[in-house]
Chain A
């Protein structure tokens, strides 16, 4: 048990180090192509972190959407714009200060949070045990996440699907619906 926890801690440290390195690399990088690929790497590392948190469904989604589709869409967007980031003219001092203040406020906020993984955390004592208890009897499927998403919170999930559909409508309104190469259009 203890060796297990140490192993998870080591994996977490490695993942977080790589995440920070990727983030710094994204900031330093001028080539937007590299930035798009690195943000895919960032998503894949986050997916790995979700696996260590036993959140398989979230990890799956992050790997498929964050590292997969959105990287491709970023590259597709890049093809429509420029390949390199514009050089900054103003100094980065004020944005840096804002980042540090906001970051310090967030860290200060975590001080009030209950200890990570403790058994009496609100997340463990609120509705989660109820779902775990009720799902086998009421729904009868092993994947409790699916039971919550599609049955207990079915209405929310329907809203999400409508949002996905609305995203398509928005993109089509901006880019046109034909799907024909721009060369063939009258512009």
Chain B
């Protein structure tokens, strides 16, 4: 697909803002609409766009499915592990007050960490599912365009 220069240029223009916007939604989630779930989806969408233009093989080179699967599990473990940490610190499961002296800071820390786990899992799961579907389809020839 090397000669589809319009698609390549447009995707090059779009992908970086998408990634930055996903990070903004992730880390600004306490102040504005959005959070880990939406950020993860937007983050995955940027990679999907890359794959639509450059092909699925280019995507699996950037984001190998094996690593995505591991990251998806780590995201869940971050969320669940936060609960165990708060138990170890002497509060209830996912009771964030144990995380810091100031109760509001403690809550904010807990929410940021947990949302990070959500974003990680959602982004990698969406991308892995896309790869699982897309890698089964026949490659498009240049004649198909």
Binding site for B on A (CB under 8 A): 56-57, 59-61, 64-65, 68-69, 72-73, 76-77, 79-80, 138-143, 145-147, 149-151, 154-155, 157-158, 160-162, 164-165, 167-168, 171-172, 175-183
Contacts and interface: CB of A to CB of B under 8 A. Distances in A.
A143 B122 CA distance: 20
Interface in B126-140: 126, 128-139
B117 A76 contact: no
Given A151-B111, A177-B65, A180-B135, A164 B122 contact: yes
A150 B114 contact: yes
A161 B121 contact: yes
6 contacts: A61-B41, A64-B45, A146-B111, A161-B121, A167-B125, A181-B57
Between B29, B33, B69, the greatest number of chain A beta carbons within 10 A of the residue's beta carbon is seen for B33
A42 B128 CA distance: 25
A141 B129 contact: no
Nearest to A80: B136
Given A64-B41, A175-B133, 4 more contacts: A68-B41, A76-B133, A146-B30, A147-B111
B31 A143 contact: yes
Among the interface residues B31, B93, B135, B139, which one has the most CB atoms of the partner chain A within 10 A? B135
Nearest to A142: B31
B72 A155 contact: no
Identify whether the interface residues of A are mostly helix, strand, loop, or mixed: helix
A57 B33 contact: yes
Contact of A141 (B108, B117, B121, B131): B108
Contacts of B29: 143, 146
B101 to A, nearest CB: 14
Contact of A139 (B25, B57, B104, B128): B104
Interface residues of B, number: 60
B60 interface: yes
A113 B44 CA distance: 39
Interface string B46-81: 001000100011001000111001001101100110
Interface in B80-116: 80, 83, 93-94, 96, 103-104, 107-108, 110-111, 114-115
B133 A146 contact: no
A61 B69 contact: no
Given A60-B34, A76-B134, A142-B31, A69 B44 contact: yes
B75 to A, nearest CB: 7
Nearest to A174: B132
A149 B35 CA distance: 9
B41 A76 contact: no
A175 B132 CA distance: 6
